[in-house]
Structure 1
Amino acid sequence: MQSPRDSMITLNYLHGFNSAALETDTKVGELATRFGVHRINYDSFAPRASIIESIAAQSVEGDTTAFIGTSLGGYFAAVMGQRLACPAILVNPSCDPHWALAHYRGMTLENYKLPDQPPQTLTSAVVDSYRDTALSTDPADYPVPPLLVLDTGDELLDARATHKRYASLGAALVFEGGSHRFEHMPEALDGIEAYLSRSARSAS
């Protein structure tokens, strides 16, 4: 757990595609001012089932835990929330990775956060492992409704379209401007904490 103080809630933090969850990350540090943060690193070039297995093996579970992820990590936060019936916070999520990752099919990419690691190639088999696995828009498919957290200035994914498509899942935190990296975490902390408190009350 990486937090400067004890916290009632521990967030399992999931990075996006071709990224990493580092202790020095700005968003990790901002979340750690309010919550415990358990960073999970997984191989985002692996097939979907392998990633789920890796995340499950690394996750902290319990009555006071939740998942939070950005981009592809937001997708997997929702998946783990469904599987473990716990809160999930989806930050600028890739709700349909089969579509989103198709743009990188066959590309060999360096990870700017891990410059010492060799570049990796996103294979067609990995992209196809996400076929027909887009996040559901039906609230009944989520034991605990997830929370959408969006920057409208996301240059990679259409935040307004995501908000409209998934409005049936409940309240969302939407911030004007920003980017795909999400630049409003300090402003989102109160809303995230309120969401976690509501989820805890509903479960009790």
Structure 2
Amino acid sequence: MKANMLKAYLEKIHIPDVFVVPSLSFKPKEAMNQLIEMVETYQASNSDSSLCFIGSSLGGYYATWLAEKYESRVVLINPAVNINDLFKRYLGNNHNSYTGEDYCLTMNHVHDLETFNVDTITQVDRYLLMLQTGDEVLNYKHALDKYVGAPSIVEEGGDHGFAEFERHQETILAFCGINCLKKYA
């Protein structure tokens, strides 16, 4: 939902080529390999461009690892932090409502996810943390603890999907270094 909203907004202001929404494998190692390949392909042909990752929930977990690896900016929206605790609830058969894919989550997948944990955040100023206290899936306080010192937007209420996300699109893009106003000219 959020990715589609942001993509539509960028199309509306005539800069759709600055944003990629990847379709990833549910298998953590495969997903991360897909992301690394995308980033390195992009960097090989765009050496003058900086990267900014945007991730929500598990995407926020992946984006944290990528931001540290590539020393990039990152916007985290209700990010997953305690992977082991979170994903044990989902062991077994699941359905991805975004891709329509059915899959079986195993403890091996959870262990693979743990390999992408970032214990120490290095430049917190590269992170924009967006949280809503009403997140019914994740405890927002865990993210506050992990990303202490990062610029943050913490809103009372809301939900895991980040209610009224569209209000923050320009803030997100500005943090990523995209000047929306120049693109209208």
Q: Where is the helix percentage greater, Structure 1 or Structure 2? A: 2
Which residue, 165, 172, 183 being the options, matches 1:192?
Answer: 172
Q: State the AA in 1 paired with 2:130.
A: V
Matches within 5 A, 1:52-71: 52-59=32-39, 60-61=42-43, 62=46, 63-71=49-57
Residues 67 and 89, structure 1, Cα contact 8 Å, conserved in 2: yes
- Ranges in structure 2 where 5+ consecutive residues have no aligned partner: 178-185
Matches within 5 A, 1:162-173: 162-168=143-149, 170-173=150-153
Matches within 5 A, 1:140-179: 140=122, 142=123, 145-168=126-149, 170-179=150-159
Q: How many residues align?
A: 169
Superposition deviation, residue 52 in structure 1 = 1.5
Q: Which has the higher contact order (CA 8 A, sep 6+)?
A: 2
Residues 65 and 117, structure 2, Cα contact 8 Å, conserved in 1: no
Which residue, 107, 110, 134 being the options, matches 2:95?
Answer: 110
- Ranges in structure 1 where 5+ consecutive residues have no aligned partner: 1-20, 198-204
Superposition deviation, residue 72 in structure 1 = 0.4
Consecutive aligned runs of 4 or more in structure 1 exceeding 6 Å deviation: none
Rounded Cα–Cα distance in structure 2 between residues aligned with 1:163 and 1:133: 19
Which residue, 73, 80, 103 being the options, matches 1:120?
Answer: 103
Residues 154 and 180, structure 1, Cα contact 8 Å, conserved in 2: yes
Residues 173 and 188, structure 1, Cα contact 8 Å, conserved in 2: no
Partner of 2:60: 74
Partner of 2:162: 182
Rounded Cα–Cα distance in structure 1 between residues aligned with 2:176 and 2:10: 13
Rounded Cα–Cα distance in structure 2 between residues aligned with 1:98 and 1:31: 35
Secondary structure class of the residue paired with 1:160: helix
Residues 92 and 182, structure 1, Cα contact 8 Å, conserved in 2: yes
Which residue, 98, 103, 112 being the options, matches 2:84?
Answer: 98
Q: State the AA in 2 paired with 1:129.
A: D
Partner of 1:7: none
Q: State the AA in 2 paired with 1:37.
A: F
Gap change, CA 1:72 and 1:31, over 3 Å in 2: farther
Gap change, CA 1:67 and 1:114, over 3 Å in 2: same
Q: What's the TM-score, normalizing by structure 2?
A: 0.76
Q: What's the TM-score, normalizing by structure 1?
A: 0.70
Rounded Cα–Cα distance in structure 2 between residues aligned with 1:134 and 1:78: 8
Q: Report sequence identity in percent.
A: 21
Partner of 1:42: 24
Gap change, CA 1:166 and 1:153, over 3 Å in 2: same
Rounded Cα–Cα distance in structure 2 between residues aligned with 1:147 and 1:22: 16
